[in-house]
């Protein structure tokens, strides 16, 4: 394994217990997300809303129409972005890579903006259009990095440049068609307010299929991480496998962007934390990243709701406050930034 993958690993916990603990944390945070907000609700009221006994009550309306879609959105987007970041970092052999840093999120966002401007009623197609934008961005950044030397810093700089161009494109679309993205500031920063199950459902199926495919390729990913030549010597089509994994990572990130906006840093922080705690073996790392990403985004969304109540922050602000310093720390501790990936 590469040095950046193993240099920070401490004594590893029992992986099964660790994953079970993360699963329990996800459940507790999801319950807290349903209970806490501008109107606190008890677990009994939450249960009553799901059982349908008091469906017309205010508590049931709050749970089913507001908090349930938001909680599901947090869990889905967090898991998808974290697994996408894990795959991107592994395939590109770059600890600084993540969906928001190399332009994947903004590529998805640009096509979402164009789609909303041209086809405002095609709501169910938005996740698929978002995936096309994400895939285009990741392959464009990969092409630019390879043409200019493929160093780790070059890849990040290419991603930042591409992200800036795509973000300018989003601004241009919104300038000419202001109604293209209702709640544009939330989309640009990343936010989960005003979600509905209608918006979340199409992305759910994409994330589920892409997640299962990534997990099924975890063994091949382990071999790929040993190096291209080693993978080829073992009979793996390394180039095709890289492209497949990057396409799946783009699908995960694009589906998340389609309903959660341009959320940043989940795909950067969570893979590093989980790799540090659990090791670099792909299957447990991917599972832990999914659970960790769901936990992180749900926790940040809770903080965004509660810290300045009754006012509410977009969750992207909370993530940026945590992720920005993390990225700077990660950048400063890299010692191989000039080496080729």
Classify the phi-psi angles of 183: left when phi > 0, otherwise alpha if psi is within -120 to 50, otherwise beta: left
Q: Cα 10 from chain centroid?
A: 25
Q: Which residue has the higher pLDDT, 334 or 315?
A: 315
Residue whose token pair is 């199409």: 202
Q: What is the pLDDT of residue 7?
A: 52
Q: Which two tokens stand for residue 232?
A: 């080829």
Contacts of 163 (CB under 8 A, 6+ apart): 100, 101, 102, 103, 105, 106, 107, 137
CB 207 within 8 A of CB 252: yes
Helix 68-92 and helix 282-306: axis angle, to 10°?
Answer: 140
CB 103 within 8 A of CB 162: yes
Q: Which two tokens stand for residue 326?
A: 């993390």
The pTM for the full model equals 0.89
Fold of 77-333: ABC transporter involved in vitamin B12 uptake, BtuC (1.10.3470)
**SS3 label, residue 7:** coil
Among 134, 203, 189, smallest CA distance to 301 is for 189
CA–CA dist 288, 283 (Å, integer)? 9
Q: Which two tokens stand for residue 58?
A: 């205010």
- Please, what sign has the CA dihedral across residues 12, 17, 19, 25? negative
- Residue 338's pLDDT band (boundaries 50, 70, 90)? very low
Phi, psi of 301 (to 5 degrees): -65, -40
Dihedral, CA atoms, 111, 117, 120, 126, nearest 10 degrees? 10
- Residue 11's pLDDT band (boundaries 50, 70, 90)? low
Q: What is the pLDDT of residues 268-315, one digit of tens each?
A: 999 999 998 998 899 999 999 999 999 999 999 999 999 887 888 889
Q: Domain boundaries in the chain? A: 33-67, 77-333
CB 268 within 8 A of CB 326: yes
Query: Is 19's pLDDT higher than 50?
Result: yes
CA–CA dist 75, 73 (Å, integer)? 6
Phi, psi of 262 (to 5 degrees): -85, 65
Q: What is the pLDDT of residues 140-191, one digit of tens each?
A: 887 877 776 656 677 777 888 888 999 999 999 989 988 877 766 678 888 8
Q: What would the mean pLDDT of 121-138 be, rounded to a whole number?
A: 88
Query: Is 341's pLDDT higher than 80?
Result: no
């Amino acid at each position: 394994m590469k040095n950046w993958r193993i240099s920070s690993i401490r004594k590893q916990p029992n992986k099964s217990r660790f994953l079970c603990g993360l699963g329990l944390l996800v459940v507790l945070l999801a319950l807290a997300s349903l209970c806490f907000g501008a109107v606190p609700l008890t677990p009994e009221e939450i249960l009553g809303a799901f059982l349908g006994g008091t469906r017309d009550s205010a508590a049931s309306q709050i749970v089913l129409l507001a908090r349930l879609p938001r909680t599901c959105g947090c869990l889905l987007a967090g898991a998808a972005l974290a697994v996408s970041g894990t795959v991107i970092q592994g395939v590109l052999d770059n600890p600084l890579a993540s969906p928001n840093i190399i332009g994947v999120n903004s590529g998805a966002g640009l096509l979402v903006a164009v789609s909303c401007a041209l086809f405002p009623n095609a709501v169910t197609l938005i996740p698929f259009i978002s995936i096309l934008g994400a895939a285009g961005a990741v392959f464009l950044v990969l092409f630019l990095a390879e043409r200019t030397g493929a160093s780790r810093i070059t890849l990040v700089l290419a991603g930042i440049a591409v992200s800036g161009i795509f973000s300018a494109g989003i601004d241009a679309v919104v300038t000419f068609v202001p109604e293209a993205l209702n709640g544009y500031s939330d989309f640009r920063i990343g936010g989960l307010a005003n979600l509905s199950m209608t918006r979340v459902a199409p992305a759910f199926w994409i994330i589920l299929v892409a997640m299962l495919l990534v997990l099924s390729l975890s063994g091949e990913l382990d071999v790929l991480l040993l190096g291209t030549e080693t993978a080829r010597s073992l009979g793996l089509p390394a180039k095709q496998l890289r492209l497949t994994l990057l396409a799946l990572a783009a699908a995960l990130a694009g589906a998340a962007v389609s309903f959660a906006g341009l959320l940043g840093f989940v795909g950067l922080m969570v893979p590093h934390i989980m790799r540090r705690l659990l090791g670099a073996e792909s299957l447990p790392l991917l599972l832990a990243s999914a659970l960790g990403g769901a936990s992180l985004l749900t926790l940040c969304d809770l903080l965004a709701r509660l810290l300045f109540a009754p006012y509410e922050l977009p969750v992207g602000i909370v993530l940026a406050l945590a992720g920005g310093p993390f990225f700077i720390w990660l950048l400063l501790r890299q010692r191989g930034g000039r080496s080729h990936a």
